[in-house]
Structure 1
Amino acid sequence: MKKNLIGFFFFILSCTNLSAQNKIEKMSMTYGEELPDDKQKIVKIIGEVNNKIYALAFKEKEDYFLKIFEAKSMKMISSNLIVIPQVSDREVDFEEVFLLNDKLYAVGSVYNKKDKTFNLVGTEISDKGVLSKNTIILFNSQVAKKSEKGAFYFKQSPDGGALLVMHTSHFPKEDAVKYEVKLVDDKLTTLFSSEEKVVFDDNKKDFEFTIADFELNFQDDVFLVINESYRDSKKKEKIENFKIHAFKKANNYQKEVVDINIKGKEIINCKMMSTNKNTLQLVGFYSSVRENGKANKDLKGVYNATINLATNKNDNLKFNEFDYETKVKLLGERRAKKGKDVKPLYNITTIIEKNDGGLIVLSELQFVYVGASSGIGPLAFTPVTYTKNEIIVTCLKPDGSLDWSNVLPKEQSAVVTTMSFVFGMGSSNGSFAVGGAIAIPLAQMGKGPEYLGAIPIYKNGVLNIVFNDNIKNKGITDIEEIKALGNYNNAVPTLFIFDDKGKITRKDPEEVIKNELVIRPGIYFRKSENELIIYSSRKKLDKLGRLLLED
């Protein structure tokens, strides 16, 4: 009897530990059943439909798996290895999985050495996780050679019914870059395609060609931000050919060009967001230009340009310098007093349209450090350190001018040891670049970097940001006082709330619980404005859950 009572006690204790969570005022996290210990780490939550949750998982040396869960209990129903059928007797490399109008597709790429083509193919997946034996050719792109085959980039439409794909590649012998965009529907049928090759002019000083961003709006219109810049040494001017290439469905996808006139400044980066008001919002960082036409490269501030798609005109263009208070937080008081600019280490991660038509821009300090490799040939291993630190929060008025700005203090890093390294979204080759925030390769997710970053939630006109923090930072909002995250397995969730003047309120767990599940901000699915499907872990213990921001 005594043994039974002891066993019952430990059973109750274990149940309590599993159901306990670090509670934060106005934020709740509930979890489903413990996931099987199959060493398959979830790297993407694809979506929820028909009472099922679909997720992509990665297992070392065994590639990718499609996992299906029951939506209510979050109990795993099935897990199937993703093997895309061969193309011309060649193995297909997995790229991504997408849910288009409740239809699942696996997408993969394959290089054809004989034809010097880089192909992208899609294969439908049944609701039971079984891949079709039929493949659909999406791209058959001519490239210079295998090492210059380029990369594919993806973006889904706001309603999830279409997929925009872009391929870019470099042609060194021609001093050219080719980019191709295609829009496909939920049957992977091509609705629109466009291809263009741009030749570099080596005679131009400081020449750069950037595809800064691409976008697909609610009307299935396609947009690219193109920036060609150089220095005119004779006129001592910095030339910025900053343009939107628009392909509108109502105009049979004929190419339209919208010029944005920039003088005396250099565009460092750009992120684009389409709105339901039939406009495009462009935001990014800019730098000052010297009298000889050379750009300073450091960040002077944030710009905003609004494109009226009915007229193809730029209705406003505002340049907002960082204010003194923001510079103090980013640079320190001594450098801020000297008028120093901010180092170009910040990438725009999120644009939020406010209820009044203004914007909130989140820009995170991000960089990747690649260490020295150890080993020989294919057995060499390389340590890669991902760093994601403080976030600049910039609030803009509807006319694009600065309303307020503040800085969310955090210091995070994670190290991954890998046999190969690629940057993901942001890549460059010589004078050509495809811009974007750092995207961690799927094969490196599940090993630590997914604990970094933050989750923004905008509800009832209030910005909320959730991230993992060091337990010793409880109550601290001063960037000079925070401690680094350290071991992310011991992190606790933290909620920062910004009011309409940018003032910060920090919410920490009421009582820190040891050995609690740790949220992975790099892996989540936004179910609604204030509800997210999340993935959390504690060593070998993994669970799916729901994060709800309460009123």
Structure 2
Amino acid sequence: MKKTLYTALMGIVLCCFSGNAQTKIDKLSINYGEEITDDSGKIVKIIGEANDHIYTLVLKGKSDYSLKIFDSKAMKLTSNKPIIMPEIKDKDVDFEDVFLLNDKIYVIGSVYHRKDKVFTLVAIGVSDKGILSKDQITLFESKVARSSDRGGFYFRKSPDERMLLVMHTALFDKEDAMKYEIKLFDENMNQAFFTEDKVSFDDNKKDFQFTISDFDVNDNDDVFLVVNEGYRDNKKKEHVEKFQLFLFKNQNNYTKEVVNIDVTDKEIINCKMLSTNNGIVHLTGFYSSVRESGRANWDLKGVYNATVNLSGNTVGNLVFNEFDYATKVKLLGERKAKKGRDVKPLYNIHSIIEKNDGGLIVLSEYQTVYVGQTSGIGPLGFTPITYTTNEIIVTSLKPDGTLDWSNVVPKEQSASITVTSFNLFAVVGSGNFRVGVSLTFPLGVMGKGPEYLSAIPIYSNGELNIVFNDNAKNKGVTDIEKIKSLGNYNNSVPTLFTFDDKGNITRKDPDEIVKHQVVIRPGVYCRKSANEYIIYASRKSQDKLGRMFLD
């Protein structure tokens, strides 16, 4: 009898443990829900949390999407509904994305009408049970030049998650022009704002580049667009840089306002925008030096920061911070750093964080995408793609934009996948025009490996923390010269890097490695507050949702 009772009690304890497994790394704790036994694909996006449920997007195979809904408290699967896209004019609608706006869910899809040369975007409402509406709301009907230049759609949610900002860009080769359209939609998919423009190209300008660097919307429903245009004046032997912020303020009935940011003898490489609650817009990114001939070097010289005050549209500080010697040694090695070499342009802005003192922390990650040679014929072809995300440059800026400190997070990560077709229509630029909107992994390749890469930044109580997957052999290692590559991400372990107010790194690793433990997927998470995140973790066939907390 005692043996039977003991066995029963142990069964209950083990059941509770497996259903509420926990991972602890110093002040970081993760509580997992039940294992997801429904083997119908991998979660590629945590859409959000509402009505006591967590909504997720799941992909199985090439393009079979579904909505998995979980109970918020137990993180237990309650339903799994396939996303069956409708037809418009006898053409299948292609899945684009799904968004949660003020507790309302919408699936977004697109369809190209070859005869009319129109690229259509539609929104389809979804019930809280995951059932798609039979009605579609047309968001865009964009005229394009041809199928191969149909362009793409880009999305931004407002910080309060009430509004959806959508931009479409497309090339018009014969006109040497790029057209962009931007619209803002509320939670009912009613259009609140619209603007469009067609930017022409001048063949007489040398080294001409026009870039839509970033676009965004704030809690006041103000819309922002950053563009920069650069070229070389051959006669004057100088580089001309036209760096502008377009403002469309809600209180001004969205009348277009233009702020010019004067840049001389430098080339703006990229830009990411952050609008703060005190009416300041920060523009930050990388810049390069310019030769005496006026030709830009294109390598990364350092990080710049510009501020624009929305109350008067005035430009505040414009500061260019060169990479310091210590940072260059970590990125290039001592020999190249001593020679004054610049950093290769292989880093993309991962995220920008506003510090408690009003300054910024800029995270820039080494990111490359290698597309191999396609084998096979036509739609049966197979294309290998390798995603690499290595070290992260962490740059802390003071409120006036000057450098506070910088450091480098050492890591080497890569994931290779094979796709049956490569989407050429989603190219972000061509020739002299680029759309530099932040690089993310496409939904179509998530669930196959890239989601294990990159990192999750957490800024809480004035302190920066970075969580990522690493090789277990790197335990305790912060020297970039000694770091080992991730290898098999299924066997990786989470690590926590913490930065003090001087930029010094403290690394924390798990006390012991638990075999067959699920692995965090940094490419799939949802931020709930400054120190709480909903995450997704898996290992081979095991899958779990979890909540990650920073004490």
Query: CA distance change for structure 1 residues 62 and 178 in 2, over 3 Å: closer, same or farther?
Result: closer
Distance in 1 (alpha carbons) for counterparts of 2:445 and 2:425: 11
Structure 1 residue aligned with 2:530 = 529
Q: State whether residues 224 and 244 of structure 1, in contact with CA within 8 Å, keep that contact through their aligned partners in structure 2.
A: yes
Structure 1 residue aligned with 2:436 = 435
Query: CA distance change for structure 1 residues 7 and 424 in 2, over 3 Å: closer, same or farther?
Result: farther
Structure 2 residue aligned with 1:485 = 486
Q: TM-score, normalised by structure 2?
A: 0.97
Q: How does 1:10-409 map to 2 (within 5 A)?
A: 15=15, 21-61=22-62, 63-409=64-410
Distance in 2 (alpha carbons) for counterparts of 1:513 and 1:425: 40
Structure 1 residue aligned with 2:471 = 470
Distance in 2 (alpha carbons) for counterparts of 1:96 and 1:349: 20
Is residue 495 of structure 1 aligned with residue 531 of structure 2? no
Q: Secondary structure of 1:188's match?
A: coil
Distance in 2 (alpha carbons) for counterparts of 1:3 and 1:35: 32
How far the C-alpha of 1:131 sits from its partner, in A, is 0.7
Query: CA distance change for structure 1 residues 225 and 425 in 2, over 3 Å: closer, same or farther?
Result: farther
Over the matched positions of the two proteins, sequence identity in percent amounts to 65
Does 60-69 or 188-197 show the bigger shift? Answer: 60-69
Query: CA distance change for structure 1 residues 13 and 539 in 2, over 3 Å: closer, same or farther?
Result: farther
Distance in 1 (alpha carbons) for counterparts of 2:438 and 2:197: 24
Q: Which amino acid aligns with 1:294?
A: R
How far the C-alpha of 1:7 sits from its partner, in A, is 8.6
Structure 2 residue aligned with 1:461 = 462
Q: Which amino acid aligns with 1:259?
A: N
Does 32-41 or 532-541 show the bigger shift? Answer: 32-41
Is there any run of 5+ residues in structure 2 with no aligned partner, and where? none
1:23-46: per-residue Cα shift (whole Å, max 9, x none)?
Answer: 211011111111123231100001
Q: Which amino acid aligns with 1:322?
A: F
1:416-438: per-residue Cα shift (whole Å, max 9, x none)?
Answer: 10012248987111101000333
Q: State whether residues 22 and 492 of structure 1, in contact with CA within 8 Å, keep that contact through their aligned partners in structure 2.
A: no
Q: TM-score, normalised by structure 1?
A: 0.97
Q: State whether residues 424 and 441 of structure 1, in contact with CA within 8 Å, keep that contact through their aligned partners in structure 2.
A: no
Q: Secondary structure of 1:527's match?
A: strand
1:44-81: per-residue Cα shift (whole Å, max 9, x none)?
Answer: 00111111000000011452101111001111111111
How far the C-alpha of 1:270 sits from its partner, in A, is 0.4
Q: Secondary structure of 1:299's match?
A: coil
Query: CA distance change for structure 1 residues 377 and 4 in 2, over 3 Å: closer, same or farther?
Result: farther
How far the C-alpha of 1:6 sits from its partner, in A, is 12
Q: Secondary structure of 2:24's match?
A: coil
Q: Secondary structure of 1:23's match?
A: strand
Q: State whether residues 151 and 427 of structure 2, in contact with CA within 8 Å, keep that contact through their aligned partners in structure 1.
A: no
How far the C-alpha of 1:12 sits from its partner, in A, is 7.9
Query: CA distance change for structure 1 residues 326 and 241 in 2, over 3 Å: closer, same or farther?
Result: same
How far the C-alpha of 1:277 sits from its partner, in A, is 0.7
Distance in 1 (alpha carbons) for counterparts of 2:170 and 2:523: 28
1:261-285: per-residue Cα shift (whole Å, max 9, x none)?
Answer: 0000000000001000111000000
Q: Which amino acid aligns with 1:462?
A: E
Q: Secondary structure of 1:450's match?
A: helix
Aligned length: 550
1:335-354: per-residue Cα shift (whole Å, max 9, x none)?
Answer: 00000000000000110000
Distance in 2 (alpha carbons) for counterparts of 1:423 and 1:319: 36
1:508-537: per-residue Cα shift (whole Å, max 9, x none)?
Answer: 001111111100000000011101000000
Q: State whether residues 22 and 510 of structure 1, in contact with CA within 8 Å, keep that contact through their aligned partners in structure 2.
A: no
Q: Which amino acid aligns with 2:241?
A: E
Q: Secondary structure of 1:99's match?
A: strand
Q: State whether residues 219 and 249 of structure 1, in contact with CA within 8 Å, keep that contact through their aligned partners in structure 2.
A: yes
Q: Which amino acid aligns with 2:326?
A: E
How far the C-alpha of 1:373 sits from its partner, in A, is 1.5
Distance in 2 (alpha carbons) for counterparts of 1:5 and 1:70: 32
Distance in 2 (alpha carbons) for counterparts of 1:127 and 1:17: 28
Q: Secondary structure of 1:170's match?
A: strand
Q: Secondary structure of 1:325's match?
A: helix
